[in-house]
Chains A and B, each alone.
Chain A
Amino acid sequence: MSKPADAAQVLVRSHFEGIWRLLRRLGLPRADADDAAQQVFILACTRMAAIQPGSERAFLYGCALKIAAKWRALQKKPVQPTATGELDGIDDDVPSLDELVDQNRARALLDVVLKSMPSELRTVFVLFELEEFGSHEIAALLGIPRGTAASRLRRAREDFAKRLSRIESRFRFRGTVA
C-alpha cells in the first residue's frame, strides 16, 4: 500500500470514531452517519497531499461539520431550535426509572436535548463536551475569534443545562428521581 494510503488508514484508525460520533450528535441517523463519515475519509484520502502535517484532525472535523450542515439543509423539515418551554411535551410519555432504560435511551434523550438547541450552540457544545476540543481549537475550526468561541460555549452550556433541568424537574415531580 502506498504512503498516502497508509496515512489515510492511520487517520481512519485515529479519528473515525470521533468523526462518526460528532455526526451522530449533530443529528445524523446512524446509517447517514456511516455514509457521511466514510465520505469525510475518502475526501481526506484524495486530498492527502494538500493536508498540512498536524492539521489532519482540523481538516477531518471541518469536513464533518460541513457535511453535517449540508445534511441538515437537505432535510425536508429542517430542525428548528425550540424555546426551553417547548421541551415540556417531550417527557410526557417518558417511562419512569422503574422501567429500566439503557445507554440507547440516554443517548436518545441527549439527542433530543441537543436537537432542540440552536445549531451554532449545539456545534460548539458537542465539540467541547464530547470531542474534547479546547475553545481555541473550536475557534480555529469554525473560523471565529477565541472570545466568540468561549462566549458561545458558555451560552451553550447554560442552554443545555436549562433544557435538561426542565426535563429533570418533571421527573422529580413524578417522584422518579431521588
Chain B
Amino acid sequence: MTDPERLSKDTGNSLAALLLQAGARERPSAAVLSRTTRAIAITATAVAAAAVVKSAGSASAASVGTTSSAGATLGVAAVAKWLAIGALGGAVAMSSLQALTVEHGPQSKRATPAASTNAAVSKSEKRSTKAAPGVSEPIASAEPSLPDRATLVEAPKARSAEPVTIEPTKPAVPERAESALLAAEVHLVEQGRAAVQRAAFAEAIAQLEPYERLFPRRQLLTEVLFLRMESFNRLGNVERARALATQLLTLGVVGRQAAQAREVLGP
C-alpha cells in the first residue's frame, strides 16, 4: 500500500499546496519554546526529587529496627532532600529571573524578530474583531482572503517587515512556571497515593514528608494531609492521625475526606 503524493509537494503551485505550505511554515514563538524548556527543567527537578525521596523512603522503611543503618539512611535521605530542595529553588529562581528579564528588559533584548512578529500576531488575533485601520492584519480573521502567491513564496522576508508590538504587562512566564510546579506537585501526591494503595504506608509518609518545603503554595495540601492521616492511622499512630484529622476538618474538607477524618477522631 503506497501513500499518495503530498499536496504540499505539488510543484504546480496549486492553491492547496500554497495553503498547506503556509500552514507548515507556522512556528511557535521563541518565548513559548523558552517557557516550555524552563517548565520542563522545573518538572524534571521535581520528579527527580520525588524519586530520590521515594528511594530514600524505601530504604528507610526497609531498615526499621536496624539502629546502626537507620541513622545512616536518615542522613542520606536528609541530604538528598535538601539537595532536591536546593535544586528546585534554583530552578524556580532561574525561571523567575528569566521571566523578569523577558518581561521587563529593553524591547530590543526581549525578542527576536520572529518572536516579535509572533507577539504581534498573537495580539492581533485577540482583537480580531476590533482591529483599527492600519493595524496589522488579524491572523485568525473570520473572513480570510485568498493569499497572494508571490507573497506566499516570499513570506519570510515579508514577515520581517510587520510592525513589532509587545504586550509589556502579560505575566505569561510565571503562569507557565506555576503550571509546571502544579504538575510536579500532582506527581508527588500521586506517588504518595500509589504508595498508600500498595499499603506501603511508611513509604507514603516518607514521600510526602518534604511536601510543604518543596511546594510553598501547597495547592494540594488537603490531599497530602489526608494521605498522611490514612497512613499514620493504618500504621497505628493514632495520635498523629487524629492531629491530622483535626487539621483537615479545620481546613473545611468535605465529602469522603471529612467522613474519614471524623471516623479517625472517633465519637
Tell me whether A12 is interfacial, beta carbon within 8 Å: yes
User: A102 and B121: CB pair below 8 A?
Assistant: no
Residue of B nearest to A18 (CB): B24
In this complex, the member of B35, B126, B137 whose beta carbon has the largest number of chain A beta carbons within 10 angstroms is B137
Contact partners of B118 in chain A: CB under 8 A: 30
A36 to B3 CA separation, bound complex (whole angstroms) = 30
Complex interface bits, B118-156 against A, C-beta within 8 A gives 1, otherwise 0 = 100110011000000000011111011111100110010
User: A8 and B44: CB pair below 8 A?
Assistant: yes
- The number of inter-chain residue pairs (CB within 8 angstroms) is 201
User: A12 and B187: CB pair below 8 A?
Assistant: no
User: A24 and B141: CB pair below 8 A?
Assistant: no
Q: Quick check: which of B15-23, B56-64, B100-108, B197-205 contacts chain A, the rest being far away? A: B15-23
In this complex, the member of A8, A104, A153 whose beta carbon has the largest number of chain B beta carbons within 10 angstroms is A104
Tell me whether B27 is interfacial, beta carbon within 8 Å: yes
User: A95 and B159: CB pair below 8 A?
Assistant: no
Tell me whether B238 is interfacial, beta carbon within 8 Å: no
Query: Count of chain A residues with Cβ under 8 Å from any Cβ of B?
Result: 70
User: A24 and B32: CB pair below 8 A?
Assistant: no
User: A94 and B144: CB pair below 8 A?
Assistant: yes
Residue of B nearest to A33 (CB): B28
Q: Which of A5-48 contact B (CB under 8 A)?
A: 5, 8-9, 12, 16-17, 20-21, 24-25, 29-31, 33-35, 37-39, 41-43, 45-46
Tell me whether A65 is interfacial, beta carbon within 8 Å: no
Query: Count of chain B residues with Cβ under 8 Å from any Cβ of A?
Result: 59
A46 with B7: in contact, given A38-B179, A103-B152 (CB under 8 Å)?
no
User: B43 and A101: CB pair below 8 A?
Assistant: no
A93 with B143: in contact, given A12-B36, A42-B39, A128-B3 (CB under 8 Å)?
yes
User: A109 and B147: CB pair below 8 A?
Assistant: yes
Spell out B's residues near A (CB within 8 Å). 1, 3-4, 6-8, 15-16, 18-20, 22-29, 32-33, 35-37, 39-41, 43-45, 47-48, 118, 121-122, 125-126, 137-141, 143-148, 151-152, 155, 158-159, 176, 179-180, 183-184, 187
- 23 A-B residue pairings within 8 Å (CB atoms): A4-B44, A16-B28, A30-B122, A33-B28, A34-B28, A34-B32, A42-B40, A45-B44, A45-B47, A94-B144, A96-B145, A101-B137, A101-B146, A102-B159, A103-B22, A103-B26, A104-B121, A105-B137, A105-B141, A107-B26, A128-B6, A150-B3, A161-B16
Instruction: Given contact pairs A102-B158, A129-B20, enumerate 20 new A-B contacts (beta carbons under 8 Å).
Output: A2-B44, A5-B44, A5-B45, A21-B23, A38-B179, A42-B180, A94-B145, A94-B146, A100-B151, A101-B146, A102-B152, A102-B159, A104-B138, A109-B145, A110-B23, A111-B23, A128-B6, A164-B15, A164-B19, A176-B146
